[in-house]
Structure 1
Amino acid sequence: MAPTYNIAMVSDFFFPQPGGVESHIYQLSTKLMDRGHKVIIITHAYKGRTGVRYLTNGLKVYHVPFFVIYRSTTFPTVFSFFPLFRNIVLRERIDIVHGHASLSSLCHEAILHARTMGLRTVFTDHSLFGFADAASIFANKLLKFTLSDVDHVICVSHTCKENTVLRASLDPLMVSVIPNAVVAENFKPPSNPSEVSGGGGPGPGSHSFSQPAPPARQLGPHETITIVVISRLFYNKGTDLLTAAVPRILENHPNTRFVIAGSGPKSIDLEQMIEQNVLQDRVEMLGPIRHEEVRDVMVRGHIYLHPSLTEAFGTVIVEAASCGLYVVCTQVGGIPEVLPSHMTVFAKPEEDDLVAATGKAIAALRANKVRTELFHEQVKSMYSWTNVALRTERVYNGISGAISEAEFYGYDAANAASWSATRGRSGVQSFALIDRLKRYYGCGIWAGKLFCLCVIVDYLIFLFLELWFPRDKIDICPDWPRKTVSERKEPGVR
């Protein structure tokens, strides 16, 4: 029987805030619970949401009351989180701490404290960062600190893996690529024409490969084509690019309109562009929307435009394709890995190229060259959260020793000696303080010494907590009933 684990997912980014990382954590946690594991979430408090909350399937969320600074990230305190974190981990009998997102302070602190407590740790990176500007250098040094003493790293795309390996000076064998996924049933194409803004012809319906494909949807030469954009309105999401491109696209293609959903500091630029060009009747600004409303917005359109300047994966474009939208996106980061070429039109992250690519997509739809009504079933067969959970479970088995080192890391006998000499027991790193200090000391002439000091202080705090707040004084939380072996067996998964 496969082992089960008590897992703590830790990140600053979680519901009720919408986003790709938030959705990833929730969906992965739910599927791991279906596999028989116990999962809790540790995140910061939101307005009206503090303390312990229970979500679907018995998923428990700890909203810790820490001060939030920029973009829902808590103020980094390094050590003050430790007493509360230790209490939660011991109450829930956690075996593995799984942190998410490079810019999450809670994630980095939790991994440091977990290693001090002798727990296995995993980190998932969802973002791409540069190497030249001051903010990226600081973020990369912070990542180097955290990943110097982590058991395994997961990235959501191969481009993200390459970026993370370079930023944190990791051995590539320590990094696995496990993509995001979508719940295809939540992103079905419109089943009737009234769902699509612009009307004109029967809407595509969902189908299976065992059934005949639905008829191709014919677009008339004068039918209005709706272009949908759903994004956080920040610089890195390409909002400046979008602001410059929208008037030109609408000028070049009279029978088109935009529906834009999202919020952020760049929303004022979009509103000013609409005012200056008198586009109120052709550009609809919806403001922030909830994740469960995304599908209802997407099915109003024919094309999804994604002008991001940097992206590790881009879950939203998979959701758009699942809804039957033709995707126009910038060719940056891990985006080219996400969807097959017949679903997308790629553009350079430049205004002229984005306008040209959008025009190409509009022309292809008007000429009925793209079978968007087939996209949903194709996406459904490509992406599954059950598959993501199985692959993540294999990572847990690898770092806990449930599967052999050679099987997990995929090296042969010839490489075993050099690998073990470098890592000791690969991926199952020593918790001894002296071994941890050796790993941190190599992080830089000055940074290495600072990192070692942080680890020593963290270890002293741990000894103090063990002495003054002994473990036998902490109540153990009763667990929800877990899935049985028969229930864990999912159809279509070998």
Structure 2
Amino acid sequence: MAPTYNIAMVSDFFFPQPGGIESHIYQLSTKLRDRGHKVIVVTHAYEGRTGVRYLTNGIKVYHVPFLVIYRSASFPTVFSFFPVFRNIMLRERIDIVHGHASLSSLCHEAIFHARTMGLRTVYTDHSLFGFADAASIMANKLLKFSLSDVDHVICVSHTCKENTVLRASLDPLMVSVIPNAVVAENFKPLHSRPEVSANSFGHSPPPVRQLGPHDTITIVVISRLFYNKGTDLLTAAIPRIIQNHPNTRFIIAGSGPKAIDLEQMIEQNVLQDRVEMLGPVRHEEVRDVMVRGHIYLHPSLTEAFGTVIVEAASCGLYVVCTQVGGIPEVLPSHMTVFAKPEEEDLVAATGKAIAALRANKVRTELFHEQVKTMYSWTNVATRTERVYNGISGAISEAEFYGYDAANAASWSATRGRSGVQSFALIDRLKRYYGCGIWAGKLFCICVIVDYLLFVFLELWFPREKIDICPDWPRKTINEQKETVKDARSRW
């Protein structure tokens, strides 16, 4: 029988804030719970949400009241989070702490404290960072500190894996690639038809809709309006696209500091009737916005995966996106038109997509069923569960890392048990000491202080006096099979 775990997902980024990381944590937690695991989420307090909340799927969320400083990231406190974190971990009898996002202070602190408490840890990276600017150098040093003592790392694309391995100086064997996914049922096209699929003779059915030369084509953009999401590029490209293609209009959803630049561009070019700005939209409203369009434009300057373009393709939109980061790995070439992250190339790529749609060369009505077969949260949860089994010893090293028994001796001699780190204080200090001439010594001091704080908490606030929370009823294997059977019958 497969083992089950008590898992804590920790990140600053979670609902009610919309976004890819937030959706990833929610969907992964839901599927892991469906597989019989207990999952809680630890995040900071949002306006109107403080304390403990239960989501409708039975997942408990701890909203810790910490100060938020920038883009929903909490102020790094290092040690003051430990008493609260320890209390939650003991109350919920957590086995594995799973942190998400490079810029989440709660994530890094949770991994640090969890190792001090003797808990297994996993980290998922959702972002790409550079190596030259000061902010990236600081972020990379912080990541190296956190991942020097972690059991395993998950990245959402192969490009993201390469970036993370270089930034944190990791053994590539410690890093697995598990992509994001999409709930295809929540992103159906507006005019979906069950008969729209290739028949048994390999012939495709006729297109659902034909676009005439003078029909209006709507281009949708749903993104946080920040510099790294390519908002400056979008601001420069929109007037030129509209000028080159008179029968086009834009729908832009999202919020951020760059929204004012878009509004000024609309005013200066008198495009109020051609560009509609919706402001922030809830995740459950994203599909309703997408199905109003024909093309999805994604001008991001850096992206590890880009879940939103999978959602757009599932809704039957032709995707125009920049060829950066892990985006080229996400969708097949017949669903996308790639552009360099430059104004000229983005305008040209959008024009190419408009021409292809007007000539009816793209079968967007087939995209939904194709995306449905490519991405599944159940598959993501199964692969994540295998990582948990690997770091907890439920499966052998050879099976987890993929080497054969003949090379086991030489492999262990050169690498050791890469994915399962020792909890011994001296071994932890050795790992942190290698992080740099000055940084290594500073990190070792942090580890020692954290260990002394842990001893103090164990003596003054003993575990026996902490109430254990009753678990939400878990699903059995039979219940899981019945759920899948009911879902298939409804479909």
TM range (shorter): over 0.9
**Change over 3 Å in CA distance of 1:379–1:462 after alignment to 2:** same
Deviation at 1:415, TM superposition (A): 4.4
| Cα pair distance change 1:362/1:90, threshold 3 Å | same
Task: Decide whether the 8 Å contact of 1:120 with 1:151 is kept in 2.
Answer: yes
* CA–CA separation in structure 2 for the residues paired with 1:232 and 1:215: 33
CA gap of 1:353–1:434, structure 2 versus 1, over 3 A, is same
**What do residues 255-312 of structure 1 show as CA deviations (whole Å, max 9, x unaligned)?**
0000000000000000000000000000000011100000000000000000000000
- CA distance in 1 between partners of 2:435 and 2:412 (Å): 20
**Alpha-carbon distance between aligned partners in 2 of 1:382 and 1:339, rounded to the nearest angstrom:** 9
The residue that corresponds to 1:44 in the other structure is 44
Distance apart, 1:488 and its partner CA: 3.3
The structure-2 alpha-carbon separation of the partners of 1:208 and 1:234, relative to structure 1 and needing over 3 Å to count, comes to: farther
Measured after TM superposition, the shift of residue 411 of structure 1 is 1.9
Q: What runs of 5+ residues in structure 2 fail to find an aligned partner?
A: 483-491
Q: Which secondary structure does the structure 2 equivalent of 1:301 belong to?
A: coil
* TM superposition shift of 1:418: 4.5
Q: Are 2:207 and 2:363, in contact at CA under 8 Å, matched by a contact in 1?
A: no
**Residues 219 and 297, structure 2, Cα contact 8 Å, conserved in 1:** yes
Contact 2:196 2:205 in 1 (8 A): no
Distance 1:209 1:188, change over 3 A: farther
1:265 matched to 2:237? The reply is: no
Q: Is the 8 A contact 1:346 1:357 kept in 2?
A: yes
Contact 2:101 2:126 in 1 (8 A): yes
Closer/same/farther in 2, CA of residues 353 and 300 from structure 1, 3 Å limit: same
What is the CA–CA distance in structure 2 between the aligned matches of 1:212 and 1:89, rounded to whole Å?
A: 54
Judge conservation of contact 2:196–2:365 (CA < 8 Å) in 1: no
Deviation string, structure 1 residues 75-132 (Cα, Å, up to 9, x no partner): 0010000000000000000000000000000000000000000000000000000000
Give the Cα–Cα distance (whole angstroms) in 2 for the partners of residues 117 and 417 of structure 1.
31
**Cα gap change, 1:211/1:185 in structure 2, threshold over 3 Å: closer, same or farther?**
farther
- Cα distance change, pair 228–196 in 1 and its aligned pair in 2 (3 A): farther
Shift of 1:349: 0.2
Alpha carbons 2:221, 2:252 under 8 Å: kept: yes
CA distance in 1 between counterparts of 2:211 and 2:63 reads 49
Contact 1:216-1:373 at 8 Å conserved across structures: yes
Query: 1:489 is paired with a residue of what secondary structure?
Result: helix
Q: Note the residue ranges of structure 1 that are not aligned, 5 or more in a row.
A: 198-205
Which deviates further from its counterpart, 305-314 or 207-216? 207-216
- Residues 3 and 402 of structure 1 are in contact (CA less than 8 Å); yes or no, is this contact kept in structure 2? yes
Residues 97 and 122 of structure 1 are in contact (CA less than 8 Å); yes or no, is this contact kept in structure 2? yes
8 Å CA contact 1:423–1:429 kept in 2: the answer is no
> What does the per-residue CA deviation read over 1:171-204, in whole Å, with 9 as the maximum and x for residues that have no partner?
100000000000000000003899999xxxxxxx
Distance 1:170 1:194, change over 3 A: closer
CA RMSD of aligned residues (A): 2.6
In structure 2, C-alpha distance between the alignment counterparts of 1:207 and 1:183, rounded to whole Å: 25
Q: Which moved more, 1:361-370 or 1:215-224?
A: 215-224
Shift of 1:214: 6.3
**Alpha carbons 1:196, 1:301 under 8 Å: kept:** no
Residues 439-480 of structure 1: CA deviation (Å, up to 9, x unaligned): 010000000001100000000000000000000000000011
CA distance, structure 2, for counterparts of residue 443 and residue 50 of structure 1 = 37
User: What is the number of residues matched between the two proteins?
Assistant: 482
Aligned pair in 2 of structure 1 residues 343, 135: CA closer, same or farther (>3 Å)? same
Residue 213 of structure 1: how far off its partner (Å)? 4.5
Runs of 4+ residues deviating >4 angstroms: 192-197, 206-214
8 Å CA contact 1:96, 1:121 repeated in 2: yes
Is this contact kept in 2: 1:207–1:377, CA < 8 A? Answer: no
Cα distance change, pair 98–329 in 1 and its aligned pair in 2 (3 A): same
Indicate how the Cα distance of structure 1 residues 442 and 250 shifts in structure 2: closer, same or farther if over 3 A, else same.
same
8 Å contact from structure 1 (residues 322, 375) kept in 2: yes
For residues 298 and 375 of structure 1, what CA distance do their matches in structure 2 show?
A: 14
Helix, strand or coil at the partner of 1:58: coil
- Asked if 2 retains the 8 angstrom alpha-carbon contact of 1:228 and 1:298, the reply is yes
- Aligned 8 A contact 2:6 2:38 in 1: yes
What is the CA distance between 1:209 and its match in structure 2? Answer: 12
Q: 1:117 to 1:294 in 2, by over 3 A?
A: same
Q: In structure 1, how many angstroms separate the alpha carbons of the residues matched to 2:31 and 2:201?
A: 25
Secondary structure class of the residue paired with 2:194: helix
8 Å CA contact 1:224–1:255 kept in 2: the answer is yes
Structure 1 residues 470 and 303: CA distance shift in structure 2, 3 A: same
How much has 1:414 moved relative to structure 2?
Answer: 5.1
DSSP 3-state at the match of 1:263 = coil
Closer/same/farther in 2, CA of residues 195 and 236 from structure 1, 3 Å limit = farther
From the superposition, tell whether residues 135 and 369 of structure 1 become closer, same or farther in structure 2 (CA, over 3 Å).
same
Match of 1:370 among 357, 362, 372: 362
User: What TM-score do you get using the length of structure 1 for normalisation?
Assistant: 0.94
Aligned partners of 2:140 and 2:167 also within 8 Å: yes
1:251 maps to 243
Equivalent-residue separation in structure 2 for 1:208 and 1:430 (angstroms): 56
Mapped partners of 2:110, 2:451: distance in 1:
13
Structure 2: distance between partners of 1:162 and 1:387: 22
Give the C-alpha shift of residue 481 in structure 1: 1.2
Q: Given that residues 313 and 333 in structure 1 are in contact (C-alpha distance below 8 angstroms), is that contact kept between their aligned partners in structure 2?
A: yes
CA–CA distance in structure 2, aligned partners of residues 358 and 212 of structure 1: 26
Change (3 A) 1:195 1:63: farther
Distance 2:416 2:233 in 1: 48
Shift of 1:217: 1.6
Please say if 1:163 is aligned against 2:163: yes
Report how far residue 428 of structure 1 moved: 1.6
Distance 2:202 2:377 in 1: 22
Residue 251 of structure 1 and its aligned partner are, at CA, apart by 0.0
Structure 1 contact 157–312 (Cα < 8 Å) conserved: yes
Give the percent of matched residue pairs that are identical in Structure 1 and Structure 2. Answer: 91
Paired with 1:35 and 1:121, the residues of 2 have a C-alpha distance of 20
Conservation of the 8 A alpha-carbon contact between 2:192 and 2:365: no
Q: 1:111 to 1:211 in 2, by over 3 A?
A: farther
Q: Secondary structure at the residue paired with 1:182?
A: coil
Q: Does the 8 Å contact 1:196/1:299 carry over to 2?
A: no
SS at match of 1:414: helix
For residues 285 and 221 of structure 1, what CA distance do their matches in structure 2 show? Answer: 26
> Does the CA contact (< 8 Å) of 2:173 and 2:418 recur in 1?
no
Offset at residue 487 of structure 1 (A): 2.6
Distance 1:447 1:418, change over 3 A: farther
CA distance in 2 between partners of 1:488 and 1:171 (Å) = 36
Report the Cα offset of residue 486 of structure 1.
1.8
For residues 31 and 424 of structure 1, the distance between their equivalents in structure 2, rounded to whole angstroms, comes to 32
Please say if residues 214 and 373 of structure 1, whose CA atoms lie closer than 8 Å, have aligned partners that are also in contact. no
Q: Note the C-alpha offset of 1:421.
A: 3.6
Distance 1:350 1:437, change over 3 A: same
